[in-house]
Amino acid sequence: MKKTIFILLNIMVVIFSLSAVEIDMTGIEVEPYDNVNFPQFLLDMRRSEIVTFGSFPFTTMAVGAGYSFYKYFANGMDSKYTPNPFIKTSSANLSDAETRGLILGAAGLSLGIGILDYFLNQIALATEKQEKEAKLGENGLDPDIKIIPVYKTIPEADAPPKD
């Protein structure tokens, strides 16, 4: 009981102290990432990192569900081992080693998804670059753009004298 009151009081202190702080965001402009500050390699790695960590909850649930089904069928479809994708609430009473294996399996699957995304993104970028280069003409300009010279006539007053 004392711990609960202590935790609630700490939460209230943190909330009230954060609400008392005023932050003026009117003059702040956020600059987007560009290739000058971050090379393309780092941007691609960041994308892969986001995909890896973003897929982790889904792979954890998928690996947990797959293992639940495996355990269910391996034990002769006993109702004690009914499949449940939520690892901690499962009625199958997973051991620490099984839980660790599920987490590591999900982490490995997420890492594989991130690496696959990195390579697919590299292939897509290379293909896009080749298509862009193929679209350009021999001189490196877009062949669809036509340059039409415009000739100005010089007024008689500004014209050079005729011999």
Number of independent structural domains in the chain: 1
Contact 142, 136 (CB under 8 A): yes
Q: Is residue 157 part of a domain?
A: no
Q: Between these two residues, 77 and 122, which has the higher pLDDT value?
A: 122
Kindly indicate the confidence band of residue 113, based on its pLDDT and cuts at 50, 70 and 90.
very high
Q: Is residue 101 part of a domain?
A: yes
Per-residue pLDDT reduced to its tens digit, 11-24? 877 777 666 666 66
Q: Is residue 11 part of a domain?
A: no
Whole-prediction pTM: 0.57
Q: What average pLDDT does range 14-37 have in this prediction?
A: 69
Range of the domain at 105: 38-135
Q: Is residue 150 part of a domain?
A: no
Q: Is residue 18 part of a domain?
A: no
Q: Is residue 8 part of a domain?
A: no
Instruction: Find how far residue 86's CA is from the centre of its chain.
Output: 25
How close are the terminal C-alpha atoms of the chain, in Å? 111
Q: Is residue 160 part of a domain?
A: no
Contact 63, 108 (CB under 8 A): no
